[in-house]
């Protein structure tokens, strides 16, 4: 799990309206629309649910402790989506206690290992890794103009890559996996094979030479070297740090989606409310 630093976070809250527009330009949908699409629900009913849903974001001091602006940024993303969210005035267990006492509907909180959302009404729990993989896969499908029967390359076979691969396969996508650790791609291949056709690429060079729809879930800078990029690729890159360089992101322009919190938090928010929203 890559740990964000406050430099990764500082421009997110103020940048939400512009980022939302960039997503519309790339996929036809904004932050809420893509997250709802990832969950197969209509954003109209979701927006209604969100308006009456209260959330405390509880800072967690465990481990390496609080990241400046992390909780405030998570709350800003939730408010942008239409949820009534605030940063709890308490941290850790005191924050959980206060949320329950105040009758808050949900809690989001992250230690160094897991970033989770809890629905205090129906006990639903969502994880940032799973939701990030799901929603970035949905975004890639939208950029590709559809998923069914398309070939996708998933780089990085951890929890985010696994969730992304599952979402793409659930819509009929054909998956090739790559991880710098062959044991990791083998393990994921074994888990996914019962679900559908999955291949493993021998090298990133070979994989990128044969794929133009790429989900980069690797937590490694330059996992996708600039020299292997080409103009007809479409890349969704949830990995932190991005596997594509700043220059690569500039070169790909509207054919790449990368963020460090926004889409994953949006997926968590929709995931928490899902029971109560109608299917798409
Ligand atoms: O401020 C706080 O409450 C800290 N305990 C938050 C620590 C978050 C650590 N996790 C991460 O930085 C990454 C993010 C990309 C989201 C999931 N893990």
Closest ligand 1 atom to Cα of 70: 1
Report pLDDT for 1. Answer: 65
Report pLDDT for 221. Answer: 87
Mean pLDDT confidence for 247-252: 94
What is d(CA 162, CA 238) in angstroms, rounded to the nearest whole number?
Answer: 12
More confident residue, 196 or 229: 229
- For residue 205, the CA-to-ligand 1 centroid distance in Å is 32
* Per-residue pLDDT at 2 exceeds 90: no
Identify the residues whose C-beta falls under 6 Å from ligand 1: 1-4, 59-60, 66-67, 70-71, 110-112, 115, 128, 240, 260
Closest ligand 1 atom to Cα of 62: 5
* Per-residue pLDDT at 277 exceeds 70: no
pLDDT band at 126 (very low <50, low <70, confident <90, very high): very high
Residue nearest to atom 2 of ligand 1 (CA): 66
Mean pLDDT confidence for 233-249: 93
Closest ligand 1 atom to Cα of 63: 5
Residue nearest to atom 4 of ligand 1 (CA): 66
| Residue given tokens 């330059």 in the structure block | 222
* pTM (two decimals): 0.96
**Which of 64, 70, 127 gets mutated to test ligand 1 (max ligand atoms within 8 A of its CB)?**
70
Report pLDDT for 279. Answer: 58
More confident residue, 180 or 148: 180
What is d(CA 135, CA 13) in angstroms, rounded to the nearest whole number?
Answer: 19
| Digit-coded pLDDT (tens) for 78-108 | 999 999 999 999 999 999 999 999 999 999 9
């Amino acid at each position: 799990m890559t740990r964000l630093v406050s430099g990764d976070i500082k421009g997110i809250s103020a940048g939400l309206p512009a980022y939302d527009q960039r997503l519309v330009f790339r996929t036809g949908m904004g932050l809420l629309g893509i997250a709802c699409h990832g969950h197969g629900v209509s954003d109209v009913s979701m927006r209604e649910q969100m308006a009456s849903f209260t959330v405390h974001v509880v800072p967690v001091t465990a481990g390496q402790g609080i990241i400046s602006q992390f909780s405030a940024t998570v709350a800003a993303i939730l408010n942008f989506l239409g949820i009534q969210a605030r940063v709890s005035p308490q941290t850790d267990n005191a924050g959980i206690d206060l949320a329950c006492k105040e009758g808050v509907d949900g809690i989001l909180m992250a230690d160094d290992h897991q970033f989770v959302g809890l629905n205090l009404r129906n006990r639903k729990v969502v994880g940032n890794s799973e939701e990030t993989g799901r929603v970035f896969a949905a975004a890639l499908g939208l950029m590709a103009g559809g998923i069914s029967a398309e070939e996708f390359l998933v780089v990085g076979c951890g929890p985010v890559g696994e969730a992304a691969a599952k979402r793409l396969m659930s819509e009929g996508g054909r998956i090739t996996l790559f991880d710098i650790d062959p044991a990791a791609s083998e393990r994921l291949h074994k888990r996914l094979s019962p679900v559908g056709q999955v291949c493993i690429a021998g090298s990133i060079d070979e994989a990128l030479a044969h794929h133009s729809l790429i989900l980069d879930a690797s937590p490694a800078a330059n996992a996708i070297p600039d020299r292997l990029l080409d103009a007809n690729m479409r890349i969704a890159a949830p990995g932190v740090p991005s596997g594509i360089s700043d220059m690569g992101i500039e070169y790909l322009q509207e054919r790449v989606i990368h963020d460090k919190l926004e889409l994953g938090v949006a997926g968590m928010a929709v995931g928490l409310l899902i029971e109560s929203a109608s299917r798409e």
